[in-house]
């Protein structure tokens, strides 16, 4: 299969996901547009069965095309992998014009385009964004008041578990949300489409920054684009969701690239914008100190070989530390003053404790403790989780400090420290959801990943598309379905380096020939 056909197959899969979303996704509740359009039949009965077939065929096509594209970028036009693929298949990626960065950027937009008009998928968060923004428009404070204060179609459509909770998002994003609902009012469908348009600049920024990030460290820019922006989990969750991580991801990686290019103040200002969108981006900010100090000219290096930043004088360090604290802080402070609601988002962060899945270590340990203790005593999971999550938070704080110090040597170690720090947050915070993994993925484009790591990314990404369902349900606590999700994910991971992991070709080759007529 040619590279162009692989890319078109992924775009076709995206279109099928879009079509299937209107029966499988999180449609707005009590919406006259849905009921009066004549298409409500696709969301129940045989219509939903048809939607399911179309949707999962699209997901399958996107994952298949993503894996084939990954093999093509890694091994060449012959898709060589390990195992049963012969050396005669070796090709050269540089001879394939469809694999140029420019062509891949266009193809990524082609994969993303159908999802812009899809029904919300895998989450009802977009309705929460709109409901919280409507609160702000109506004069309430979304950092102290829950969406239940303003009944209406936006409240009806969001996940009811969050109706009394406050917003955890940064002041800039809340301001953008208010601008959306000022234009669209309480119209749910127009609000969803407008919110996607507000988040889409994150995609364009990522398309600009990710190849530059990879090239800066000698990694493949094509592999960086493949890892992040052709990843079906990223596209379907961030654009099909949609989620604020789409905007934060683009701004975050753009700020890091500017810092790596020596434009430290500009990079820090952009990172301040990322923090103003979602505070998680702030994890990357302290590592910019080491990037800045690594750019100090080598001739400034002192004879003292114990210096942690070669070539950096005391005044250099003071200036770098002060700028890293002051510039993002000033940007965040300015956006906070403009919104005029203070730092109430801090309280909103605590509501994540309501999410319970075993994909974080503290929650998984909590489950194990209750299961092990079950034959002897009845332990309530809700009583165990505060303990395990508290221990996890302490461990996370220590690990983040350790990673920051570990990243002091040069640019590469600083960016690697950023990736590991994001990953530590994902594993040790109280709860993790699929789209959170983009925090680490967008920065991991700087690294030249081994085949084993690439397989891990494929397996986890596929699992996040199967174990989490498009209607916001999950298979984590349904063993038969969970086993199926794990099997499909393992097959996808192995397929990255093996052309025919199930040996189906051998069955075809050994089948007896048909008798001649």
Q: Cis link prior to 242 (omega < 30° from 0)?
A: yes
Characterise 122 by phi-psi region: left (phi > 0), alpha (psi -120 to 50), beta (else): left
- Span 33-56, average pLDDT: 79
pLDDT for 118 equals: 94
pLDDT for 300 equals: 53
pLDDT for 423 equals: 94
- Cα torsion angle, 120, 121, 124, 130, sign: negative
pLDDT for 373 equals: 86
For residue 40, what pLDDT band results from cuts at 50, 70 and 90?
A: confident
- Whether the pLDDT of residue 36 is over 60: the answer is yes
HEC string of 86-155 equals: CHHHCCCHHHCHHHCHHHHHHHHHHHHHHHHHCCCCCCCHHHHHHHHHHHHHCCCCCCCCCHHHCCCHHH
- Whether the pLDDT of residue 313 is over 80: the answer is no
Closest to 428 (Cα-Cα) out of 462, 454, 403, 461: 403
For residue 309, what pLDDT band results from cuts at 50, 70 and 90?
A: very low
Highest mean pLDDT among 41-50, 55-64, 89-98, 162-171 belongs to 55-64
pLDDT for 299 equals: 38
pLDDT for 29 equals: 83
Residues in the chain, overall count: 517
pLDDT for 314 equals: 77
Over residues 246-256, the pLDDT tens digits come to 999 999 999 99
Report the range of poorest mean pLDDT among 104-108, 313-317, 513-517.
513-517
For residue 90, what pLDDT band results from cuts at 50, 70 and 90?
A: very low
d(CA 203, CA 112): 9
For residue 77, what pLDDT band results from cuts at 50, 70 and 90?
A: low
Over residues 121-157, the pLDDT tens digits come to 998 999 999 999 999 999 898 988 889 998 988 998 8
For residue 35, what pLDDT band results from cuts at 50, 70 and 90?
A: low
For residue 64, what pLDDT band results from cuts at 50, 70 and 90?
A: very high
pLDDT for 288 equals: 94
- Whether the pLDDT of residue 471 is over 60: the answer is yes
For residue 329, what pLDDT band results from cuts at 50, 70 and 90?
A: very high
- Whether the pLDDT of residue 11 is over 90: the answer is yes
pLDDT for 506 equals: 67
Nearest-5° angle of CA 492, CA 423, CA 81? 30
- Whether the pLDDT of residue 193 is over 50: the answer is yes
Average pLDDT, the chain: 86
pLDDT for 257 equals: 96
- Span 433-443, average pLDDT: 91
Q: Measured in Å, how far apart are the chain's first and last C-alpha atoms?
A: 33
Q: How does DSSP assign 161-188, residue by residue? A: GGTTSPP-S-HHHHHHHHHHHHHHTT-H
pLDDT for 84 equals: 40
Quick one: what percent of the chain has pLDDT higher than 70?
87
- Span 400-428, average pLDDT: 94
- Whether the pLDDT of residue 303 is over 70: the answer is no
pLDDT for 86 equals: 35
Q: Which class for 55: exposed (0-12), middle (13-18), buried (19 or more C-beta within 10 A)?
A: buried
- Span 287-304, average pLDDT: 71
Over residues 160-180, the pLDDT tens digits come to 888 888 888 889 999 999 999
Highest mean pLDDT among 319-333, 371-385, 469-483 belongs to 319-333
- Whether the pLDDT of residue 517 is over 50: the answer is no
Over residues 369-404, the pLDDT tens digits come to 988 887 888 788 888 888 999 999 999 999 999 999
Radius of gyration of the chain (CA): 24
- Whether the pLDDT of residue 310 is over 60: the answer is no
Closest to 79 (Cα-Cα) out of 491, 229, 88: 88
- Span 74-83, average pLDDT: 57
pLDDT for 499 equals: 78
pLDDT for 43 equals: 73
Quick one: what percent of the chain has pLDDT higher than 90?
55
C-beta of residue 119 within 8 angstroms of C-beta of residue 25: yes
d(CA 76, CA 345): 48
For residue 87, what pLDDT band results from cuts at 50, 70 and 90?
A: very low
pLDDT for 508 equals: 58
């Amino acid at each position: 299969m040619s590279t162009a056909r692989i890319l078109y197959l992924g775009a076709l899969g995206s279109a099928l996901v879009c079509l299937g979303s209107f029966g499988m996704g999180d449609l707005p509740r009590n919406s006259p547009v849905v009921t009066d359009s004549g298409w409500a039949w696709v969301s129940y009965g045989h219509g939903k069965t048809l939607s399911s077939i179309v949707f999962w065929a699209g997901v399958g096509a996107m994952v298949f095309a993503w894996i084939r594209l990954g093999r093509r970028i890694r091994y060449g036009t012959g898709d060589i992998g390990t195992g049963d693929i012969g050396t005669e298949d070796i090709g050269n990626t540089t001879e394939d014009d469809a694999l140029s960065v420019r062509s891949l950027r266009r193809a990524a937009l082609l994969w993303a385009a159908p999802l812009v008009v899809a029904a919300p998928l895998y989450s009802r968060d977009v309705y929460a964004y709109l409901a919280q923004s409507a609160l702000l428009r109506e004069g309430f404070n979304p950092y102290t008041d829950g969406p239940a204060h303003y009944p209406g179609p936006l409240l009806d459509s969001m996940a009811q578990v969050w109706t009394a909770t406050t917003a955890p998002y940064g002041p800039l994003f809340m301001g953008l949300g208010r601008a959306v609902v000022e234009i669209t009012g309480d119209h749910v469908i127009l609000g969803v489409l407008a919110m996607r348009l507000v988040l889409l600049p994150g995609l364009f920024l990522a398309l600009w920054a990710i190849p530059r990030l990879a090239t800066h460290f000698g990694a493949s820019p094509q592999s960086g684009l493949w890892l992040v922006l052709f990843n079906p989990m990223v596209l379907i969750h961030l654009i099909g969701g949609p989620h604020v991580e789409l905007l934060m991801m683009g701004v975050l990686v753009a700020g890091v690239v500017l810092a790596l290019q020596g434009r430290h103040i500009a990079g820090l200002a952009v990172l301040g914008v990322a923090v103003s969108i979602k505070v998680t981006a702030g994890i990357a900010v302290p590592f910019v100190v080491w990037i800045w100090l690594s750019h100090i000219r080598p001739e400034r290096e002192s004879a003292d070989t114990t210096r942690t930043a070669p070539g950096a004088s005391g005044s250099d360090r003071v200036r770098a530390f002060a700028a890293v604290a002051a510039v993002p802080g000033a940007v965040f402070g300015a956006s906070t003053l403009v919104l005029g609601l203070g730092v109430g988002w801090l309280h909103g962060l605590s509501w994540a404790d309501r999410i319970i899945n075993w994909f974080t270590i503290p929650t998984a340990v909590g489950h194990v403790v209750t299961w092990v203790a079950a034959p002897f005593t009845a332990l309530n999971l809700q009583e165990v989780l505060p303990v395990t999550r508290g221990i996890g938070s302490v461990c996370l704080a220590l690990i983040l400090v350790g990673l920051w110090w570990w990243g002091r040597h040069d640019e590469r170690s600083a960016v690697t420290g950023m990736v590991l720090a994001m990953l530590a947050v994902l594993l040790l915070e109280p709860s993790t959801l699929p789209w959170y993994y983009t925090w680490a993925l967008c920065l991991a484009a700087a690294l030249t990943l081994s085949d084993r790591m690439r397989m891990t990314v494929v397996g986890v990404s596929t699992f996040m598309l199967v174990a989490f369902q498009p209607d916001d349900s999950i298979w984590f606590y349904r063993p038969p379905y969970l086993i199926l999700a794990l099997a499909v994910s393992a097959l996808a991971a192995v397929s990255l380096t093996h052309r025919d992991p199930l040996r189906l070709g051998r069955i075809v080759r050994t089948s007896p020939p048909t008798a001649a007529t």
